[in-house]
Amino acid sequence: MEHNVEYYIKTPLKKDEILKLKAGDTVYISGEIFTARDEAHIRAIEYMEERKQLPVEFNRGVVYHCGPLMKKKNDEWKAVSAGPTTSARMNKLMPKILERVEVIGTIGKGGMSDEVMKALKGKGVYFAYTGGAGALAAQKIKKVKGLYWEDLGMPEAVWVFEVENFGPLIVGIDAHGNSLYAEIDRKIEENYRRIVGN
């Protein structure tokens, strides 16, 4: 697999741009992205089911699995440290959101399930970002453009960030059913059986 194609993309996302990305490519994103973890996913799904107006647009948007560390200075929020959180916690929640959008991007760490991979087909990609690189990520956040569902607490609230060349992100799962994780997981299982000797 080639890992050397680099793309610079802007939000809101365009379908053709998302469809051309392949697992292993490197991407930098500019524009608006918003954070959502477990609690925000649960509430967003509730809103979708009850047809209530959401504060952010998932369709053509980029969801960042992140619970940032924020600081308020002179009445303005600033991201202090804002790396990705473990995406697998959202494995059961993501597909419910995916069925209601045309095109979407998700940034996180650690990969997502086969179920999510299938739900992403033809409409979305999963970007892997370096876990724990919070100070580095915060430097790419130029402005905090919104804060919603603050009652969920700082890590679980929805934060809207304006970012510039956010990355390097690696396409972990593309819109064509290719997942770097699925491939590596097979190898890990094989290696494991060899190590434990059965």
Partner 1 sequence: MVEYEEVVSAIHKLFFKAETQLGEDVIEVIKKAYEKEDNPVARRNLEAILRNIDSAGKLKVPMCQDTGIPVVFVELGRELCLDFDLKDAISEGVRKATKEIPLRPNAVHPLTRKNPGTNTGLHVPLISLDLVEGDELKLTVMPKGAGSENVSALKMMLPSQVESIPKFVVEVVKNAKGKPCPPIFLGIGIGSTFDGAAKLAKKALLRDVRQMDEFERKIMDMANELGIGPMGLGGRTTVLGAYVELGFCHTASLPVAVNIQCWANRKASTVLR
Q: CB neighbours of 26 closer than 8 A, spacing ≥ 6?
A: 3, 4, 5, 6, 7, 167, 168, 169, 170, 171
Give yes or no for residue 126 binding partner 1 (CB under 8 A). Answer: no
Candidate residues 45, 170, 176, 182; the one interacting with partner 1 per rule CB under 8 A: 170
Q: Which of 36, 66, 90, 141 binds partner 1 (CB under 8 A)?
A: 66
- Mark whether 41 is an active-site residue: yes
Alpha-carbon distance of 74 to 23, in angstroms, equals 42
Nearer to partner 1, 94 or 128 (CB): 128
**Nearby residues of 87 by Cβ (< 8 Å), 6 or more positions away:** 65, 106, 108, 109, 110, 111, 112, 126
One residue of 19, 80, 101, 147 binding partner 1 per CB under 8 A: 80
Is residue 191 near partner 1 by the rule CB under 8 A? yes
Q: Dihedral through CA 114, CA 117, CA 119, CA 122, nearest 10?
A: -150
Alpha helices in the chain (DSSP H): 15-19, 38-49, 94-98, 114-120, 134-139, 180-196
Of 19, 24, 55, 142, the one binding partner 1 by CB under 8 A: 24
CB of 17 to partner 1, least distance (A): 22
Backbone angles phi, psi at 169, to 5 degrees: -100, 140
Strand partners, 31: 163
81 is an interface residue for partner 1 by CB under 8 A: yes
Residue 5 touches partner 1, criterion: CB under 8 A: no
Q: How far is the CB of 70 from partner 1 (least distance, A)?
A: 8
Per CB under 8 A, does 115 bind partner 1? no
From the list 5-13, 43-51, 98-106, 137-145, the region that binds partner 1 by CB under 8 A is 137-145
- How, if at all, do strands 158-173 and 124-128 pair? antiparallel
State which amino acid sits at residue 159: W
Question: Which residues are tagged catalytic?
Answer: 41
Residues in touch with partner 1 (CB under 8 A):
3, 24, 26, 39, 66-69, 71, 80-83, 85-86, 88, 109-111, 128, 130-139, 153-155, 168, 170, 172, 180-181, 184-185, 187-189, 191-192, 194-196
